[in-house]
């Protein structure tokens, strides 16, 4: 019997990319490929790139070069780029990085197995030709569901899944859905709620290579969540470019409010988390569901970006400091322990000292649990790249350092406010040195810190606990944004 071809998936970027990698993994394993964890053990290393900002693009290039260095020193014979950077730049990336044996776009995903086999056999696969993916679907959201069958949409599928799938590979939902194979055993997994974005923020290029907004049907999301629960997942995080728009192309902009309780009722799921929320699109009904539904985390990942009105208008966004603070007051009036995080851009073209002071006023009053701060940089193809009031780089760097220091102080203070709180913690790992580690409802994976559990229940390095267990704990200490909590026992439902 011939030896199975091996492939490793190296994933960079956001949770949406992680879901895409698991879809590629499902397709490949269903077609006979053997998945391996390390690129050095694979015939082909597939790097799922990020193309969001300059730093992410650099990380993607570094990962491709690192994988290329394995060729000739081990089993690795080919390195292939997929993902957002490959989709965005295509042939340009292939020309600039000849070390990559293939540059494949989203249109190649449905035939990924044959593409990799051709490359592995010494053949050539034409590099992806970029195009504005916003033009592939109708302008009217209501018409997109009928037209999507002719467009490659990672996370969506309209072709029947193969029969007799390998163990651990399943249609993420129903007979006509993307295949998915979990990469890892973390009790947390992301589920795509939608793909693409209809917003036109002047600094963002994502819609051009991710396309127009299109929702997945509730039955697909529910089916995938049930399948993940069968794989041992305890927390699902709903991801897309803009979750507050979910359902608008299905005829019901309030569809998320009815879907969340159904997801929370899936057997085996202990927590449902929603990410990527637009402040300008927040609805009272959605706030109510997020703050009052059992097993739905009162967690608000709100994309503020700034709070000075003039800067927000230049960004093609809406709001101001006072309206944002009123939104947070409404949320905390319903759920005082609610978690809130956001990202901000400083040094945007035309940003004045007064604008920066206005942002400081908002941050000081917002009591955010986690804050990401980025210095503005031009992104090709965006409106902001054409603006003339660019700030000198040293001013951008100075403002970035200043706001980043402020953010660190404020998030540490917010963590201290949680001393004495009772929290439900999902145990995610049993570290030999630190003991059991997990996250509470106000902490999303990767971005918002974690909780180190202590107490009698964690004796013997947490041997009495299990990964995936939900426990009740009392916050007794802080370590920056991270918390220390005394484990009181298993959470009761």
The binding site for [4Fe-4S] cluster comprises 14, 50, 84, 197, 201, 204
Q: Which two tokens stand for residue 471?
A: 């426990």
Contact 10, 67 (CB under 8 A): yes
Residue whose entry in the numeric block shows the structure tokens 């600039």: 96
Find residue 339's DSSP bridge partners.
299
Q: Residue 2 contacts by C-beta under 8 Å, 6 or more apart in sequence?
A: none
Q: Is residue 481 within a helix (H) or strand (E), and if so which, with residue range?
A: none
Q: Angle of helix 321-334 relative to helix 353-366, nearest 10 degrees?
A: 10
Q: Angle of helix 218-230 relative to helix 255-264, nearest 10 degrees?
A: 20
Q: Residue 1 contacts by C-beta under 8 Å, 6 or more apart in sequence?
A: none
User: DSSP string spanning 273-296?
Assistant: EE--B-GGG--HHHHHHHHHSTTB
Find residue 78's DSSP bridge partners.
44
User: How many CA atoms are closer than 13 Å to the CA of 123, on its beta-carbon side?
Assistant: 9
First to last CA, the chain: 51
Q: Residue 481 contacts by C-beta under 8 Å, 6 or more apart in sequence?
A: 369, 370, 411, 412, 414, 415, 448, 449
Distance CA 388, CA 376 (A): 14
Contact 237, 188 (CB under 8 A): yes
Rounded to the nearest angstrom, the gap between the alpha carbon of residue 469 and the centroid of all alpha carbons in its chain is 23
DSSP assigned state of 24: H
SS3 427: strand
Alpha helices, H only, 69-214:
83-89, 91-96, 112-120, 144-147, 206-210
Which letter, b or e, does each residue of 222-253 get, where b requires 16 or more Cβ atoms within 10 Å of its Cβ? bbbbbbbbeeebbbbbbbbbbbbbbbbbbeeb
Q: Residue 370 contacts by C-beta under 8 Å, 6 or more apart in sequence?
A: 339, 341, 342, 411, 443, 444, 447, 448, 449, 481
Q: Is residue 30 within a helix (H) or strand (E), and if so which, with residue range?
A: helix 15-30
Q: Is residue 309 within a helix (H) or strand (E), and if so which, with residue range?
A: helix 309-314
Distance CA 144, CA 381 (A): 25
Give the annotated binding-site residues. Answer: 14, 50, 84, 197, 201, 204
């Amino acid at each position: 019997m011939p030896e199975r071809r091996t492939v490793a998936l190296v994933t960079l970027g956001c949770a949406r990319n992680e879901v895409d990698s698991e879809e590629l993994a499902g397709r490949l394993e269903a077609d006979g490929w053997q998945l391996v964890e390390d690129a050095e053990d694979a015939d082909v290393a597939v790097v799922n790139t990020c193309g969001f900002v300059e730093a992410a693009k650099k990380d993607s290039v570094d990962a491709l070069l690192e994988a290329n260095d394995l060729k000739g020193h081990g089993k690795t014979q080919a390195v292939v780029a997929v993902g957002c950077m490959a989709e965005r730049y295509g042939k340009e990336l292939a020309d600039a990085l000849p070390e990559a044996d293939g540059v494949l776009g989203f249109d190649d995903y449905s035939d990924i197995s044959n593409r990799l086999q051709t490359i592995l056999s010494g053949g050539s696969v034409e590099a992806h030709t970029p195009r504005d993916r916003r033009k592939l679907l109708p302008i009217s959201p209501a018409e997109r569901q009928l037209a999507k069958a002719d467009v490659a949409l990672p996370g969506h599928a309209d072709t029947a899944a193969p029969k007799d799938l390998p163990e651990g590979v399943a249609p993420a939902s129903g007979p006509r859905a993307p295949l998915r194979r979990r990469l890892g055993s973390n009790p947390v997994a992301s589920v795509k709620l939608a793909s693409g974005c209809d917003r036109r923020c002047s600094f963002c290029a994502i819609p051009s290579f991710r396309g127009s907004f299109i929702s997945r049907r509730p039955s697909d999301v529910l089916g995938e969540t049930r399948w993940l629960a069968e794989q041992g997942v305890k927390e699902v995080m709903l991801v897309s470019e803009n979750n507050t728009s979910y359902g608008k192309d299905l005829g019901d902009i309030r569809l998320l409010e009815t879907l969340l309780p159904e997801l929370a009722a899936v057997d085996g799921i202990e927590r449902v988390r929603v990410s990527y929320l637009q402040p300008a699109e927040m609805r009272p009904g959605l706030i109510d569901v997020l703050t009052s539904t059992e097993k739905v985390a009162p967690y608000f990942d709100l994309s503020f970006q700034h709070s000075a009105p003039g800067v927000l208008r230049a960004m093609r966004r809406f709001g101001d400091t006072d309206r944002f603070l009123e939104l947070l007051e409404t949320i905390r009036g319903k759920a005082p322990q609610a978690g809130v995080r956001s990202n901000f851009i400083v040094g945007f073209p035309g940003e004045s000292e007064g604008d920066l002071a206005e942002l400081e006023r908002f941050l000081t009053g917002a009591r955010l649990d986690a804050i990401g701060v980025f210095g503005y940089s031009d992104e090709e193809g965006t409106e902001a790249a054409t603006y003339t009031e660019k700030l000198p780089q040293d001013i951008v760097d100075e403002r970035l350092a200043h706001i980043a220091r402020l953010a660190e102080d404020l998030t540490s203070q917010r963590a201290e406010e949680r001393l004495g709180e009772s929290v439900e913690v999902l145990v995610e790992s049993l570290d030999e040195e630190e003991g059991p580690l997990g996250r509470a409802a106000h902490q999303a994976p990767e971005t918002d810190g974690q909780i180190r559990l202590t107490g009698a229940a964690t004796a013997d390095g947490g041997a009495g606990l299990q990964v995936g267990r939900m426990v009740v704990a009392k916050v007794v200490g802080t370590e920056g944004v991270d918390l220390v909590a005394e484990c009181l026992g298993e959470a009761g439902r």
